[in-house]
Amino acid sequence: MALLRVLLAAAITCAASLAAAQSLEDLVATLPEGSYDDRGAVVAQIAGTGDDRALKVLESLLEGDLEVLDSNGRVVEIRSEGRDDFATDILTGEDYGEVPSRGSSRIRVNNSLRRDIRAAMGTMTLRHPDPARRLAAAQAAFRSPDPDQAELLSEALAAETDPQVAEALSRAVAVAALEGAAPEAAQLEAVAVLSEMGNTEARTILAAAAADAEGPVAEAASDAVRHIDQMQRLWGLAQNVWFGLSLGSVLLLAAIGLAITFGVMGVINMAHGELVMIGAYTTFVVQEAIRSSFPALFDWSLLIAAPLAFAVAGGVGVAIERGVVRFLYGRPLETLLATWGISLMLQQAVRSIFGPNNREVGNPSFMSGAFELGQMTVTWNRLWILVFALAVFAVLLFVLKKTPIGLQMRAVTQNRAMASNMGIRTGWVDAMTFGLGAGIAGLAGVALSQIDNVSPNLGQSYIVDSFMVVVFGGAGNIWGTLAGAFSLGIANKFLEPWTGAVLAKILVLVFIILFIQKRPRGLFAVRGRAVDA
């Protein structure tokens, strides 16, 4: 017994060393020789080498592109261009140039050999040391299911350690089981696995299974299809809500500065969009400076740009207030015209300095790409913009409610004369309030530069929307602006699948026009005497 064991061990070692001794080069060289059965054994050995090039050899053999050159006996891959054939060495990649017809002979394969090759290739990739390659192989097996591979996949699944790959493998096993004549229990389990998966691919497979199979399997499959449909409706809903939140955050950013200048101060600032544009261009300038001088800091560019954009746009805002708006308090329609004039000048100034075309603003690495959440895709830049919008909102709320300057701002807007009597410098507070609104518009510009074209027309595209949000939410109430932005954003995105983007926007505008008729002071009207002033 012991002897037997020793012998067996020796034999295994011997076989292993033999296999190791036979390099891929030798094995490939022996491919043309012998019968189809011999070739099958060599294929298995080639797969056993674990060499990266082995896969290519097998693929080429399967396609029938593998030939032997008569001149030097090398095994080459033939590729045809028109009527000429060109040969490259399958292992070294060396180019042998054009091959005369009859200058090479094909290594033939038959059906049973093809099956062997496929199995060998499957094993090779499914057992590849790199998990990414295994995952790709499992996913490929899922997409082109082959009942013959079911056993192979099950074995690979049993040996798999990586949970992500194991999941993909179990799905591949399930599809293979459904396609082939697996026992009913296995098929039911497969339906359960696919139902869990819950995406469109799984639904297609299950719907086909529900049509083809009989008895409990068909029933389970159609149940699973219904389940998936329901799940997909829910995910579709979630996706719409997410798009709506994302649009809402953009609207909020664009409108929140206006909620201060228009909502709190009552100044119709038509140049608001241009302040957003100035913020976006500040981001552009900061990124240019970073690109040329400190490329390593690029990921921090937005963080650097944000305070600068606040300062630049805020500064322009203070200049507008001191230079123009303060002469027009109490004449809102005139303010509208004057600030419109300022917006035209700012647009032309930016066009003269930076040119009329779109300027490139890059995404820092933490804002590029996307991740999957269940069945919806969430892009990082949209998520960060949502976070940023809420953060700006929170800070603004804090400034207005908890700081001395916020207190003074509210005092001046409520009763200017009284505030002045209490020793508040109302002119200075006006300038600061307008500057705050303008600075926040600049911050919005930093965020919008990430998702929109930075061009002199950037502001124009937001001005109508932002007024709608503020008016809808109710001027003078920043909570109203928050509610207004998100409800309009979500409404817009829920309409879009039915009506298309443009019609959805038109419908929202019409809705706002009608809404204003019903509640002329917006969603959350500020009540009291101040409104009638």
261: contact with another protein by CB under 8 A: no
327: contact with another protein by CB under 8 A: yes
Binding span for another protein by CB under 8 A among 107-115, 199-207, 347-355, 385-393: 347-355
345: contact with another protein by CB under 8 A: yes
4: contact with another protein by CB under 8 A: no
Residues 398-427 that bind another protein (CB under 8 A): none
Residue of 330, 404, 423, 528 that binds another protein (CB under 8 A): 330
131: contact with another protein by CB under 8 A: no
Task: Read off the tokens for 9.
Answer: 């061990």
Residue of 92, 112, 352, 414 that binds another protein (CB under 8 A): 352
Binding span for another protein by CB under 8 A among 130-138, 211-219, 486-494, 506-514: 506-514
Q: What is the CB neighbour count within 10 angstroms for residue 83?
A: 6
333: contact with another protein by CB under 8 A: yes
Q: Which is nearer to another protein, 285 or 328 (CB)?
A: 328
354: contact with another protein by CB under 8 A: no
Backbone phi, psi, residue 448, to 5°: -70, -25
Three-state SS for 281-301 is HHHHHHHHHHHHHCHHHHHHH
Q: What is the CB neighbour count within 10 angstroms for residue 514?
A: 9
Question: Would you tell me the crossing angle of helices 426-448 and 215-258 to the nearest 10 degrees?
Answer: 150
517: contact with another protein by CB under 8 A: yes
Residue with tokens 């053999």: 61
530: contact with another protein by CB under 8 A: no
Instruction: Work out how close the CB of 342 gets to another protein at its nearest, in angstroms, rounded to a whole number.
Output: 6
Three-state SS for 424-491 is CCHHHHHHHHHHHHHHHHHHHHHHHCCCCCECCCCCHHHHHHHHHHHHHHCCCCHHHHHHHHHHHHHH
462: contact with another protein by CB under 8 A: no
Question: Is residue 209 a contact partner of residue 178, using CB atoms and an 8 Å limit?
Answer: yes
C-alpha 92 chain-centroid distance:
40
Cα 278 to Cα 290: distance, rounded to the nearest angstrom: 18
- Helix or strand holding residue 249 (H, E): helix 215-258
Interface characters, 181-220, with another protein (x: CB under 8 A):
----------------------------------------
Instruction: Work out how close the CB of 400 gets to another protein at its nearest, in angstroms, rounded to a whole number.
Output: 22
Cα 396 to Cα 412: distance, rounded to the nearest angstrom: 17
Query: Regarding beta strands 104-106 and 66-69, do their DSSP bridges make them parallel or antiparallel, or are they unpaired?
Result: antiparallel
Binding span for another protein by CB under 8 A among 107-115, 162-170, 392-400, 458-466: 458-466
Query: How many residues of this chain interact with another protein, rule: CB under 8 A?
Result: 46
Q: Which is nearer to another protein, 18 or 349 (CB)?
A: 349
Residue of 336, 399, 451, 523 that binds another protein (CB under 8 A): 336
Task: Read off the tokens for 513.
Answer: 């026009």
Q: Which is nearer to another protein, 14 or 344 (CB)?
A: 344
User: Which residues contact another protein by CB under 8 A?
Assistant: 268, 270, 324, 327-328, 330-338, 340-349, 351-352, 460, 463-464, 467-468, 471, 502-503, 505-506, 509-510, 512-514, 516-518, 520-521
